[in-house]
């Protein structure tokens, strides 16, 4: 079946809610990226998410809700730490890991006794949840391993004919997925950096840890099922091979150019992932800016679209600038490292 492209009006959202109640899968905009939503209480509907994405079954899904009343039906307890974070950042790009109640299918949680819950801040996402009348299990609306979609067009590039519909709500704002925080342990731990920074979380709850895997410089196989999406090391990747070139001063430009020149002599189509400040300094088959280095929120918003643009131009090798790992930069570098398979040139 061809995927229906719906406008983000009340009638279309109501129709999408009916599709979800009938066990179908619908892509929709959130403030982070586009999500792929199905009834989180319907195992057969959740299975369709995995089938459409080609997603491994041991990778859990995040459940999206429209009100705290929904949360109480899904989780066993709401610790004080969670309430502080909910008060500060919900609705918004923050996912919290809770002990789950039995009504959530194992397909959603990969058989774990915990579940990630988020209350999105996008009006279309909230309206769709309310219209469907059920919590939505919703990973990013892309084929597994590909850059996440920040427009409806990106969704259709990957999933046309594989899902029932996509609601076109324009470009996503944040551009990287939600921050995932595990609040089931005494000290909150960030499992996936995202739209809310470690510094912002620490300001609300005090001590907050980073999952040790976020400090890795090479991929390592997980010894147990991940508690959160994004913890496996192959994600967000363009079709071409990608390397990150370390360094943040102007010398990185000449170093990247030398790699580009060498690769082009070998006959490859070569691209450079850079920012507005450096976009005119490179000579390559494709030089693409993902935003402004002086405002890393623009880099987060433009990152996935930039990676997909290399695919559209048939780029075989990509050399990417690196970014500071503070604030939203931690999420940007997390996505870049996974997209590059942890290949870094120093």
Q: What is the average pLDDT across 143-155?
A: 96
> Binding site residues for L-threonine, as ranges?
32, 64, 138, 178
Q: Report the alpha-carbon distance of residue 234 to residue 20 in Å, rounded.
A: 29
Torsion-angle region of residue 49: left (phi > 0), alpha (psi -120 to 50) or beta?
A: alpha
Where does the pLDDT of residue 231 fall: very low under 50, low under 70, confident under 90, or very high at 90 and above? Answer: low
> Binding site residues, as ranges?
32, 55, 59, 64, 114, 118, 138, 140, 148, 178, 192, 236
Q: Report the alpha-carbon distance of residue 334 to residue 215 in Å, rounded.
A: 9
State residue 218's pLDDT score. Answer: 67
pLDDT per residue as tens digits for the range 256-266: 999 999 999 99
pLDDT per residue as tens digits for the range 273-290: 999 999 999 999 999 999
Supply φ then ψ for residue 124, to 5 degrees: -70, -40
Strands 26-29 and 34-39: antiparallel
Percent of all residues in the chain with a pLDDT value above 90, rounded to a whole number: 87
All domains of the chain in start order, with CATH = 4-215 (3.90.870.10), 241-345 (3.40.50.11030)
Q: Report the alpha-carbon distance of residue 15 to residue 166 in Å, rounded.
A: 11
State residue 103's pLDDT score. Answer: 85
State residue 224's pLDDT score. Answer: 62
pLDDT per residue as tens digits for the range 90-142: 999 999 999 999 889 999 999 999 999 999 999 999 999 999 999 999 999 99
In order of 30, 79, 87, 206, 295, the CA distances from 91 in angstroms are 11, 18, 9, 21, 23
State residue 57's pLDDT score. Answer: 86
SS (H, E, C) 224-239: CCCCCCCCCCCCCCCC
172 has a pLDDT exceeding 70: yes
Which segments of 146-234 are extended strands (E)?
Answer: 165-168, 179-182, 189-192, 209-210
State residue 23's pLDDT score. Answer: 98
SS (H, E, C) 84-115: HHHHHHCCCCEEEEEEECCCCCHHHHCCCCEE
pLDDT per residue as tens digits for the range 300-344: 999 999 999 999 999 999 999 999 999 999 999 999 999 999 999
Supply φ then ψ for residue 340, to 5 degrees: -90, 0
58 has a pLDDT exceeding 70: yes
pLDDT per residue as tens digits for the range 190-228: 999 999 999 999 999 999 999 988 877 666 555 566 777
Q: Determine contact, residues 166/153, Cβ cutoff 8 Å.
A: no
> Binding site residues for ATP, as ranges?
55, 59, 114, 118, 140, 148, 192, 236
Percent of all residues in the chain with a pLDDT value above 70, rounded to a whole number: 96
- What is the separation of C-alpha 41 from the centre of its chain, rounded to a whole number of angstroms? 22
Q: Report the alpha-carbon distance of residue 142 to residue 52 in Å, rounded.
A: 9
In order of 71, 94, 144, 202, the CA distances from 88 in angstroms are 16, 10, 31, 11
């Amino acid at each position: 079946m061809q995927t229906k492209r719906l406008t983000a009006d009340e009638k279309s959202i109501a129709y999408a809610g009916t599709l979800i109640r009938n066990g179908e899968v619908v892509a929709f905009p959130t403030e982070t990226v586009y999500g792929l939503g199905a009834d989180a209480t319907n195992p057969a509907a959740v299975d369709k998410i995995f089938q459409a994405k080609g997603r491994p079954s041991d990778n859990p899904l995040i459940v999206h809700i429209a009100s705290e009343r929904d949360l109480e039906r899904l989780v066993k307890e709401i610790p004080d730490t969670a309430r502080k974070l909910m008060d500060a950042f919900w609705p918004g790009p923050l996912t919290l890991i809770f002990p789950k109640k039995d009504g959530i299918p194992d397909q959603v949680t990969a058989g774990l006794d915990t579940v990630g819950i988020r209350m999105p801040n996008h009006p279309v996402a909230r309206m769709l949840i309310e219209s469907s009348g059920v919590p939505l299990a919703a990973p990013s609306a892309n084929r597994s391993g590909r850059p996440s979609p920040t427009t409806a067009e990106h969704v259709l590039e990957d999933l046309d004919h594989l899902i029932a519909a996509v609601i076109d709500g324009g470009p996503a704002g944040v551009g990287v997925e939600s921050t995932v925080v595990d609040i089931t342990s005494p000290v909150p731990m960030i499992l996936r950096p995202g739209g809310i920074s470690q510094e912002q979380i620490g300001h609300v709850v005090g001590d907050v840890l980073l999952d040790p895997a976020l400090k890795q410089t090479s991929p390592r196989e997980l010894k147990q099922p991940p508690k959160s999406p994004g913890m496996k090391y192959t994600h967000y990747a363009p079709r071409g091979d990608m390397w990150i070139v370390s360094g943040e001063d102007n010398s990185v430009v000449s170093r990247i150019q030398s790699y580009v020149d060498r690769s082009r002599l070998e006959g490859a189509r070569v691209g450079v992932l850079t920012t507005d400040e450096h976009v005119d300094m490179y000579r390559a088959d494709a030089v693409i800016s993902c935003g402004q280095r002086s405002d890393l929120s623009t880099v987060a918003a433009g990152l996935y679209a930039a990676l997909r643009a290399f695919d559209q131009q048939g780029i075989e090798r990509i050399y990417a600038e690196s970014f500071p790992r503070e604030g939203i930069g931690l999420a940007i570098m997390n996505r870049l490292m996974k997209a590059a398979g942890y290949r870094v040139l120093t």
